[in-house]
């Protein structure tokens, strides 16, 4: 068999085989189309490994620098793109083949004590740390946009909903902030996933560890990881951090689709609470009047992919025997897709939110004084009536208004008085939106003061430093 055949191992593993790879096996075996994105990380890892081998006395200082310079030239070649039509099995075999083209036989020394099992785990973790930093930056932009919208909504009082029925009044900011906190928690989850990725597997070999005295601490330091894997068998099979990353992505999907759903409802003619900018809307090819808030639907749709990637990752990992298994080749696609989806959806959402204008006239039209029924019940409570009794009394008044076909505010004072003498006075003042929201002044409430505290705290969280030490190089893109 031709030892240099890129399909059948390209000199990586062909030695024990008499025949080349079956044609039908090739596309199943090849992961280059997916893992090509790891080219930069593969070269960085290899460069660090060359230095480690030199430190361990496995390669001479001359050979070590030849390998590193060769890898540098491979990097230059690949930075202008991976040539189309290359038939290498994966990015690791491609880089090694190119290195051999650059430096000749000494390239064969680079893989000493290393396996593609610890190599791919290392490459992907490096990529994952950087991807997490990029996702976090995009999340920050959405949070920033939401905070801007919250600031624009302090004076506007919306009906707040439960069961999609009007419940109690809230400041528009309160609604916006209710979407902001989940994203701030997502940001912590993405940071945790990055921390999870920051454990170096290199030096684990195929499963049993490395028999040469390489300095794993130095490798860790050079590659910007914060810890070393504790067990080589675990290290080559541990994909927990990927599961955590795609879970964080899936939950972001939940949060984005909830924002999307609210935006769709609130921008509809029936609600008409807000308007999303033209730049984030589309028209209809048939109905000339249509103006669809597609951004919200597209983002809600993208959540399906994010959820799929989580399910796929967990399913992939379930039931594998100990150690590296080739199934794991699939892991990258799910992670890449989650990151790509987030990197596409988050900026669109940030822009769409920044483009939102509230429509106070629409809000005004929708607000029903019934939303103040709880405040009315509280009037009686303040006079010593047990809340359950008071609830009953006000409930009957709401029914009365409904029977008469009038709004709660339009019932004559005598009707209120008849319901309970304590309602004789002070009822009219209760029908005041501002008063209702201002009454909810505890931390976490919807009074102006409570909202301002939320805004301040959210801004403080947003400003907390990212864990930059985990992202030493090349954080801007992976192509
Ligand atoms: N392409 C492989 C992957 O993504 C690299 C590791 C291959 N290891 C092996 N023992 N065949 O998982």
Mean pLDDT of 334-349: 98
Calculate the CA dihedral of residues 461, 467, 472, 478 and round it to 10 degrees.
Answer: -60
End-to-end, the C-alpha distance of the chain in Å comes to 35
The token duo for 299 is 């983002």
**Residue 29 in domain:** yes
What is the mean pLDDT of the segment spanning 281-304? 89
Is 183 in the same domain as 239?
yes
Q: Give the residue-averaged pLDDT of 290-296.
A: 88
283 vs 28, more confident: 28
* pLDDT classification of 84: cutoffs 50, 70, 90: confident
pTM summary value: 0.93
Average pLDDT, integer, range 58-65: 98
Is 248 in the same domain as 125?
Answer: yes
CATH number at residue 378: 1.10.40.30
Judgement on whether residues 154 and 69 belong to the same structural domain of the protein? no
**Residue 153: both structure tokens together:** 């909504």
- How would residue 476 be classed by pLDDT, with cut points 50, 70 and 90? very low
96 and 132 housed in the same domain: no
Q: Of 60, 79, 268, 284, which is the active-site residue?
A: 284
End residue of a domain, out of 62, 78, 112: 112
314-328 residue pLDDT tens: 999 999 999 999 999
| Shared-domain flag, residues 90 and 126 | no
- pLDDT of residue 479 exceeding 80, the answer is no
pLDDT at 286: 84
pLDDT value, residue 474: 45
pLDDT in tens, 418-463: 999 988 887 888 999 999 999 999 999 999 999 999 999 999 999 9
Instruction: Name the band, by pLDDT with cuts 50, 70 and 90, for residue 167.
Output: very high
Q: Residues 340-358: what's their mean pLDDT?
A: 98
Three-state SS for the chain is: CCCCCCCCHHHCCHHHCCCCCCCCCHHHHCCHHHHHHHHHHHHHHHHHHHHHHHHCCCCCHHHHHHHHHHHHHHHHHHHCCCCCCCCCCCHHHHHHHHHHHHHHHHHHHCCCCCCHHHHHHHHHHHHHHHHHHHHHHHHHHHHHHHHHHHHHCCCCEEEEEECCEEEEEEEHHHHHHHHHHHHHHHHHHHHHHHHHHCEECCCCCCCCCCCCCCCHHHHHHHHCCCEECCCHHHHHHCCHHHHHHHHHHHHHHHHHHHHHHHHHHHHCCCCCCEECCHHHCECCCCCCCCCECHHHHHHHHHHHHHHHHHHHHHHHHCCCCCCCCHHHHHHHHHHHHHHHHHHHHHHHHHHHHHCCEECHHHHHHHCCHHHHHHHHHHHHHHCCCCHHHHHHHHHHHHHHHHHHCCCHHHCCHHHHHHHCHHHCCCHHHHCCHHHHHHHCCCCCCCCHHHHHHHHHHHHHHHHCCCCHHHCCCCCCCCC
Residue nearest to atom 2 of ligand 1 (CA): 329
Binning pLDDT at 50, 70 and 90, where does residue 2 land? low
Query: CA 250 from chain center: how many Å?
Result: 7
Does ligand 1 have an atom closer than 6 angstroms to the CB of 328?
A: yes
Pocket test for ligand 1, best of 6, 21, 29, 116 (most atoms within 8 A of CB): 116
Active-site annotation holds for 8: no
- Position 211 pLDDT exceeds 70: yes
Residues 125, 251, single domain; the answer is yes
* 284 is known as an active-site residue: yes
> Is 66 within a domain?
yes
Q: Are residues 428 and 319 in the same domain?
A: no
pLDDT value of residue 475 = 44
Give the pLDDT score at 160.
97
Whether 366 and 159 have beta carbons less than 8 Å apart is answered as yes
- Is residue 201 within 8 Å of 229, Cβ to Cβ? yes
Same domain, 283 and 340: yes
Q: Are residues 265 and 397 in the same domain?
A: no
Q: Which atom of ligand 1 is nearest to the CA of 206?
A: 10
In the reported structure, the alpha carbon of residue 304 is separated from the centroid of ligand 1 by a whole-number distance in angstroms of: 28
User: What is the predicted pLDDT for the residue at 469?
Assistant: 42
- For the residues 243-258, what does the mean pLDDT come to? 98
Q: Looking at the domain assignment, is residue 196 inside a domain?
A: yes
349 and 415 together in one domain: no
Q: Is 85's pLDDT higher than 60?
A: yes
Count of domains for the chain: 3
470 within some domain: no
Mean pLDDT over each residue of the chain, to the nearest integer: 93
**Confidence grade of residue 62 (pLDDT, cut at 50, 70, 90):** very high
Residues 196, 282, single domain; the answer is yes
Across 343-357, average pLDDT: 98
Asked whether residue 6 is domain-assigned, the answer is: no
Q: Please work out whether the CB of residue 31 comes within 6 Å of at least one atom of ligand 1.
A: yes
Residue nearest to atom 3 of ligand 1 (CA): 329
CA–CA separation, 310 and 306 (whole Å): 7
- Residue 471 falls within a domain, yes or no? no
**C-alpha 6 to ligand 1 mean position (Å):** 15
Co-location of 249 and 304 in the same domain: yes
The CATH number of the domain where 311 resides is what? 1.20.200.10
Residue 472 clears pLDDT 50, i.e. is over it = no
Could you give the angle at which helices 294-317 and 240-267 cross, rounded to 10 degrees?
160
- Its domain, for residue 179, covers 117-365+459-463
What pLDDT score was predicted for residue 291?
Answer: 81
The domain that holds 49 is classified in CATH as 1.10.275.10
pLDDT exceeds 80 at position 11: no
Q: Does residue 116's CB lie within 6 angstroms of at least one atom of ligand 1?
A: yes
260 located within any domain: yes
**Residues 37, 336 contacting (CB under 8 angstroms):** yes
């Amino acid at each position: 068999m031709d030892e240099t055949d890129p399909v059948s191992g390209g000199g990586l593993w062909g030695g024990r085989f008499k025949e080349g790879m079956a044609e039908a096996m090739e596309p199943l075996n090849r992961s280059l189309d997916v893992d090509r994105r790891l080219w930069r990380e593969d070269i960085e890892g290899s460069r660090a490994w060359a230095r480690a081998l030199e430190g361990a006395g496995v390669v001479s200082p001359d050979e070590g620098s030849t390998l590193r310079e060769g890898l540098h030239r491979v990097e230059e070649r690949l930075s202008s793109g991976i040539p189309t039509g290359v038939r290498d099995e994966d990015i690791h075999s491609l880089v090694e083949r190119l290195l051999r083209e650059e430096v000749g036989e000494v390239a064969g020394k680079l893989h000493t004590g290393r396996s593609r099992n610890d190599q791919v785990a290392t490459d992907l973790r490096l990529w994952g740390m950087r991807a997490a930093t990029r996702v976090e930056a995009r999340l920050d932009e959405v949070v920033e946009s939401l905070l801007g919208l919250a600031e624009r909504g302090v004076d506007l009082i919306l009906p707040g909903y439960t069961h999609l029925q009007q419940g109690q009044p809230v400041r528009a900011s309160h609604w916006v902030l209710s979407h902001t906190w989940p994203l701030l928690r997502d940001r912590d989850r993405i940071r945790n996933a990055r921390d999870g990725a920051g454990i170096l597997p290199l030096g684990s070999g195929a499963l049993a560890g490395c028999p040469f005295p390489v300095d794993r601490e130095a490798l860790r330091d050079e590659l910007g990881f914060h810890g070393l894997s504790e067990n080589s068998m675990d290290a080559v099979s541990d994909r927990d951090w990927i599961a955590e990353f795609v879970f964080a992505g899936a939950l972001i999907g939940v949060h984005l689709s909830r924002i999307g759903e609210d935006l769709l409802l609130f921008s509809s003619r029936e609600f008409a609470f807000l308007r999303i900018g033209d730049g984030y809307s589309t028209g209809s090819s048939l109905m000339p009047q249509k103006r669809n808030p597609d951004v919200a639907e597209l983002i809600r749709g993208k959540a399906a992919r994010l959820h799929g990637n989580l399910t796929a990752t967990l399913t992939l990992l379930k039931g594998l025997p100990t150690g590296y298994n080739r199934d794991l080749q699939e892991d990258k696609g799910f992670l890449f897709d989650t990151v790509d989806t987030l990197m596409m959806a988050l900026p669109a959402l940030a822009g769409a939110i920044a483009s939102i204008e509230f429509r106070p006239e629409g809000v005004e039209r929708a607000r029903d004084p019934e939303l103040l029924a709880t405040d009315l019940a509280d009037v009686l409570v303040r006079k010593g009536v047990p809340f359950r009794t008071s609830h009953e009394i006000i409930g009957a008044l709401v029914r009365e208004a409904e029977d008469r076909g009038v709004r709660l505010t339009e019932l004559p004072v005598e009707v209120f008085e008849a319901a309970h003498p304590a309602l004789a006075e002070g009822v009219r003042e209760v029908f005041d939106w501002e008063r209702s929201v201002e009454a909810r002044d505890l931390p976490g409430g919807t009074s102006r003061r409570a909202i301002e505290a939320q805004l301040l705290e959210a801004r403080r969280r947003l400003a907390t430093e990212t864990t930059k030490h985990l992202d030493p190089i090349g954080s801007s893109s992976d192509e």
